[in-house]
Structure 1
Amino acid sequence: MIESLISDILFGFTGLISIINPISVAFVFLDRTTSFTDEERRLLAKRVAINAFFVLVAAFFVGTPVLHFFGISMEALRIGGGLAVAVSGWQLLNAPEPEPRPVAAEPTVVKPAPPHSAAGKAFFPLTVPLTTGPGSIATAIALNANRTHKLSAWLLSSVASLVISTLVMLVIYYVYSRAARLAQYLGVEGTRVAMRVSSFLLLCIGVQIILTGLTGFLTPIADLHAAR
């Protein structure tokens, strides 16, 4: 039983973290928070990580019933969410280069985050769809799509879902809160290149999610016509 639980946790965590790809998205996060202080960015990273936790928990436990209630197919989720991700990647890819920030002569005084600048970005677009987008939500739903009603198996699956969501939350917070430090290691030009590459990968991920949704939608239609 314990071995099965550990296996489920490792499988779900590695699958989700590879889709979320927090290291690449961290540069997008940094690009969206260029005017923030380190403390503001850390607080925002915490909010995004907590939001991602609740999004994944909701996808694990109520994702399938909600989709069925509204009559939304997995293909529609992928196409709509992939479009949102692709548009965000396109906008970031074509955004003008930010001006280099002057180095302050004195230590920067940490100011409290403005009430709207941080909170307004925390859920959309930084949590959804940039961090926990349609790919990760669809993966979380798929992991528990066949959740059994047997009590012992349901409890194990629930524990695995909570542990996976917690681990993903911690990784997101750790990487996002240190995005500026990673940029310092890369330097100005290296950071610009990394941001452009991350934006392009985000665009490609969005297009791939759309294509996956279209394939899932068109394949049954093609099979039906071929059978006639």
Structure 2
Amino acid sequence: MLAEIFKNTVALLAIVEPLGVIPLYLQATVGYSDTEKRAYARFLGMVVIVALVIAGLAGDELLQALSISLGAMRVGGGVIVLMVAIAMVLGQQNAVKRTPVEAEAAEEAAGRGLVPLGIPLLVGPAAFSFMLAHSQWHWQAPLSLVTVLLPPIIVGLLVWLTFAFAGRLQARLTPAMMVVIERIAGFLLAGIAVELMAGGLRELFPLLASPVVP
């Protein structure tokens, strides 16, 4: 269970990627006092937690209502996550994580709220897809519920801390260091995405999971 929590947390953190949103956060908080900046960082962390937890908790019921199998959602979510991972490795993550309009709105006063910094710049389609694909839980199995709830909470807290210390981080992280971090996160995320798709394909096509009989 700990391995699953760790893997999901790493994947979500790579998808949310708060480090990449630091410049927009600093632009959005120009003129804010230190107290207001800390409050805004806490607010964005809570947005991440609430949005991802809702996706994880309501995902199973939503998939059933839409007659979508969990295997299909895992394959679809894996494809979206893989696209983000490839874009991160190639240095084109902005093309899949935010549109020019969303980025421009985040720099304006009108963008200093829930949208677009919280959603979709931090919690976008890839993050929602990932949580929906891992929404298989039951009240009768509280331990499995922990694997759904804990990763978003950890990631939300890390988002909060990242923005709370955004000024210091930006001063210490050079553009070259940011590139290295993004590339490594992209490689890790690509592996997780392929594994997610493989699990979904095995659910859709059980024969793929059957041992080969010589």
With the length of structure 2 as denominator, give the TM-score of the two structures: 0.60
Percent of aligned positions that are identical: 26
The equivalent of 1:213 in structure 2 is: none
Q: Deviations over 1:136-182 (max 9, x none)?
A: 111011122x44x482xx31121122221221111000101111222
The equivalent of 1:55 in structure 2 is: 51
Unaligned runs of 5+ in 2: 85-94, 187-196, 198-214
| 8 Å Cα contact 2:134-2:148 kept in structure 1 | no
What is the distance in 2 between the residues matched to 1:157 and 1:87? 29
The equivalent of 2:162 in structure 1 is: 175
Alignment of 1:202-221 (within 5 A): none
- In structure 2, relative to structure 1, the CA distance for the partners of 1:12 and 1:130 (3 Å cut) is same
2:16 counterpart of 1:20: yes
What is the distance in 2 between the residues matched to 1:165 and 1:94? 27
Aligned length: 163
The equivalent of 1:125 in structure 2 is: 116
* Offset of residue 44 of structure 1: 0.5
What is the distance in 2 between the residues matched to 1:24 and 1:87? 10
What is the distance in 1 between the residues matched to 2:113 and 2:167? 17
Unaligned runs of 5+ in 1: 99-116, 206-215, 217-228
3-state DSSP of counterpart to 2:112: helix
3-state DSSP of counterpart to 1:122: coil
The equivalent of 2:100 in structure 1 is: 90
- Larger RCO of the pair (alpha carbons < 8 Å, separation 6+): 1
Q: Deviations over 1:170-199 (max 9, x none)?
A: 10001011112223446xxx78x999x9xx
* Offset of residue 88 of structure 1: 4.3
With the length of structure 1 as denominator, give the TM-score of the two structures: 0.56
| 8 Å Cα contact 2:41-2:164 kept in structure 1 | yes
Which residue identity lines up with residue 66 of structure 1 in the other structure? Answer: L
The equivalent of 2:5 in structure 1 is: 9
The equivalent of 1:161 in structure 2 is: 148
3-state DSSP of counterpart to 1:124: coil
* Offset of residue 91 of structure 1: 3.8
| 8 Å Cα contact 1:23-1:175 kept in structure 2 | yes
The CA RMSD over aligned residues, in Å, is 4.0
